[in-house]
A and B are shown apart, each in its own frame.
Chain A
Amino acid sequence: MSDTKEIYLDNSATTRVFPAVADLMTRVMLETYGNPSSMHHKGVEAEKLLRNAKEIFAGILKCDLKNIYFTSGGTESDNMAIVGAATAAKRRGMHLITTQIEHPAVLNTMKHLESEGYTVTYLPVDSFGLVKLDKLEAAITPETTLVSIMHVNNEIGSMQKIAEIGELIKRCNPDTLFHVDAVQGFGKAAIIPKKMNIDLMSVSSHKIHGPKGMGMLYVGDKVRLNPIVFGGGQQNGLRSGTENMPGIAGMAKAADTLCSKLKEDSEKLYKLKARLIMGALKLEGVQVNGVELNDELKKKLSSGAMDDEAMVMLMEALSKTAPHIVSLSFPGIRAEVMLHTLENDGIYVSAGSACSTHKPEPSATLKAIGLDKSLLDCTLRFSMSVFTTEEEIDKTISVLSDKLPMLQKYTRR
């Protein structure tokens, strides 16, 4: 490994914890270490901390404290929402709807419910990863008790029109609950559950510069959930277990930090995203996934002749996607090889397709957007954070342009 500064572009996998969050957590572990259920002063102190964390989330989501539940992470939040809602409404109906591009925490939970006798509709998406609203409308029946759709896709950064979807669901069946997996979107794009007809919403801490092993679930006012964890009856009996206080405090601090300047940060991220795409598309053969670009704009991007008008068009196209995720395909180069090549220059990214890591199956998302078969194993995900700089993006592009010719030459014949 060369002695280069590390460039971390895998923020959709996990993020670096904000130093202030780490400090706060240390203090909670060493000083305010009480159990919020204890009757003495130490307990009261911890309960205050818990309340404070709920207040932060209630402020961001413009909801009440009682809507906020803390979990062990995005996966548990998704499980608690989907299994909890589906089983509580079982008598009304056993039909659930989701999409083909959900995270495994949702997809495999749905599969589990299928084995329990539920019927699940997996909605297709268009080539930019967006749910087809007419298909959704057609799928909702009087027996549909829950629709679960992710806000931002973790692999290609497509961003669903959550408000429109929420409205559509309630119009078709006011009793159908709407769950949003906001693990990738939270802290990147504003989302107000009540305004968007969201009943349940999952958030993960380690994607927003908080600690791992920590998550949050928003539960709307009239939503009935069955608990999936049983024990001492903490958090209204909906999620038993002594509250993870250092995690809760840390996650709330991270969310507060991120959301207080969300608009400013997301503008910065969109600019970085544009910079990366412009740089990458100038390289031969490279293509970007999940962004709608017209032919004229594509031509300008690959020739590098971006005028003001083209810039406006590009930013307009990007604004429909998440600000921090860029999915690029490099024809003929296996993602894993590309990944290790970048790694050698201290650049950390992720293989857009899971097949080169631990799972033999190619990515469901990339298949669902109709990506050419030959590109499934040649796709990388670059995901940025508030720590990412222009210099880092430029360095990444220069490494890509240095290494591409060599890698294109040595491919499997």
Chain B
Amino acid sequence: MKKEMFCDFLIKYAEIGIKGKNRYLFEDALVSRIMNAMKRVDGEFSIRKTPGRIFLRSESEFDFDEAVDALQHVFGIVGICPIVRLDIVDPETLCKNVTDYMREMYGSELCSTGLTAQQAVEIMKENGFEVDSASAAISDEVYGKLQWQELLPSIKRNSSDTIRFKMMVRRERKSYPKDSMVLNEDIGEALLNAFPGLKVDVHHPEKIVYVEIRDSIYLYSEIIPGPGGMPVGTGGHGMLLLSGGIDSPVAGYMVSKRGVTIDAVYFNAPPYTSERALQKVVDLATIISKYTGPINLHVINFTEIQMAIYEKCPHDELTIIMRRYMMRIAEHLAEECGAQGLITGESIGQVASQTFASLVCTNEVCTLPVIRPLIAFDKQDIVEISQKIGSYETSIQPYEDCCTIFVAKHPVTKPSRTVIRRHEAHLDDVIEEMLQKAYDTDTVIRVGD
């Protein structure tokens, strides 16, 4: 594919198209997310919405790969089609233009006959062409100049060497002289005549050549996959419990993919955790913000509460009780900033505090819904997503977070709610004040603007 041919993209989206009367809300959100994503790309871009289609146009020089990468981070996009825009031309010129487009795009691939040079020379001779057999190394370029139509019956096309294609013409502009059926045939024929390496296959095409006749004529034949999902901002607002690990950034990514706006909270425990551990979390938030859009990262100083739990509660329940307070604090922050639920990276049985029994214990302290997108995922599957979204390398940096510093050798795996509640009550006389102090330490770091 020749990337420098394109200065327009057709953006395809799927689910938004079926959202009934709210459709415009989703489309508007998608347009705004796209414009926001393109801010990171050098160059001027403009966007145009027509019914069922979003067109992105570059108004200046730009880097194709950079632009595509930015679009691949916008949830809601299922396909990115680099398109060539033509003025309205008559059908004959259109056939020629499509032929030129195909030659530019796929070049010699399409000219290949699957024959050796010697075989080609034989066939040409049989058909009465004067060919110097000494120059057996005859090039594809020379073939291209010949009238393939005449030779075609003689060439037994080798199916593995041909590209199976299909024409897909849409004529929105009804005043155009020929209709889509006729145009499909005419253009297809022109392509077959021009390229020996093409073969029609309407059922299992490898390439679909799209020609859309609207205010202009749009040509495209490649669809680069987008991330899918729904545009961020259309699915509510969640508070993500972000640690420095592998799971929580993935959880944030996944929920955001359903259109949810994300804010995050990190529990800091100086001097037990370092400034670099905090920086790592900021880095992780920045990485997922490429997908989720800007994130307000709340940093809460958790040391005092952690010490109090350590001192007054049974050591094997430390992590469970600690997580209960984290959930409470996260819920408090969520309510303050208007988030409708919490998001965690928990997965059943991954660690002691994530067994079913433990989840029951940590779940009961809050009333907002807790979304756990990874709940039934294996670690390896989570790692794969984290590698795909680019957070893995950062997640595995070896800085301790507050969950690991005082962890017991044998933490409870089947905690009982009544027992936990009873032990938690040891903190009753101090905890309200400590929680208030923790809320007061809330520092917001905004990333991804």
Chain A interface residues toward B at CB < 8 A: 336-341, 343-344, 358, 360, 410, 412-413
Contact = CB atoms under 8 A, between A and B. Distances in A.
A339 to B, nearest CB: 8
Given A410-B307, A410-B310, A360 B274 contact: no
Interface in B242-277: 270-274
A360 B398 contact: yes
Contact of A413 (B270, B272, B274, B408): B408
A341 B271 CA distance: 5
Interface residues of B, number: 15
B304 to A, nearest CB: 11
A344 B271 CA distance: 8
Given A340-B270, A344-B271, A358 B398 contact: yes
Contacts of B398: 358, 360
A253 to B, nearest CB: 33
Contact of B405 (A339, A344, A412): A412
Most buried by A among B271, B398, B400: B271
A338 B272 CA distance: 8
Interface in B364-408: 398, 400, 405-408
A341 B303 CA distance: 12
B446 interface: no
A2 to B, nearest CB: 12
A340 B271 contact: yes
B414 interface: no
A410 B406 contact: yes
B307 A343 contact: no
Contacts of B405: 412
Given A358-B398, A360-B398, A412-B406, A344 B270 contact: yes
A413 B315 contact: yes
Contacts of A410: 307, 310-311, 406
Interface string B301-320: 00000010011000100000
A114 B241 CA distance: 48
Given A360-B398, A410-B307, A413-B315, A340 B406 contact: no
B57 to A, nearest CB: 47
Contacts of B310: 410
A410 B315 CA distance: 12
Interface of B: 270-274, 307, 310-311, 315, 398, 400, 405-408
B408 A340 contact: no
B274 A340 contact: yes
B16 to A, nearest CB: 46
B275 to A, nearest CB: 8
A396 to B, nearest CB: 15
A343 B276 CA distance: 13
Contacts of A340: 270-274
Contacts of A339: 271
Contacts of B400: 336
B315 A337 contact: no
B271 A343 contact: yes
Contacts of A413: 315, 406, 408
A360 B406 CA distance: 19
Nearest to A411: B406
A398 to B, nearest CB: 17
Nearest to A358: B398
Nearest to A409: B311
A410 B307 CA distance: 7
A300 B235 CA distance: 70
A75 to B, nearest CB: 23
Nearest to A344: B271
B408 A337 contact: no
B272 A337 contact: yes
A173 to B, nearest CB: 44
B321 to A, nearest CB: 15
A165 B407 CA distance: 49
Contacts of B311: 410
A360 B399 CA distance: 11
Contacts of B274: 336, 340
A344 B272 CA distance: 11
A360 B400 CA distance: 12
Contacts of A412: 405-407
Contacts of B407: 412
B299 to A, nearest CB: 14
Given A338-B271, A360-B398, 7 more contacts: A336-B274, A336-B400, A340-B270, A343-B271, A358-B398, A412-B406, A413-B315
A56 to B, nearest CB: 38
Contacts of A344: 270-271
17 contacts: A336-B274, A336-B400, A337-B271, A337-B272, A338-B271, A339-B271, A340-B272, A340-B273, A340-B274, A343-B271, A410-B307, A410-B311, A410-B406, A412-B406, A413-B315, A413-B406, A413-B408
A317 to B, nearest CB: 32
Contacts of B315: 413
Nearest to A360: B398
Contacts of A358: 398
A344 to B, nearest CB: 6
A343 to B, nearest CB: 7
A7 to B, nearest CB: 16
A246 B119 CA distance: 71
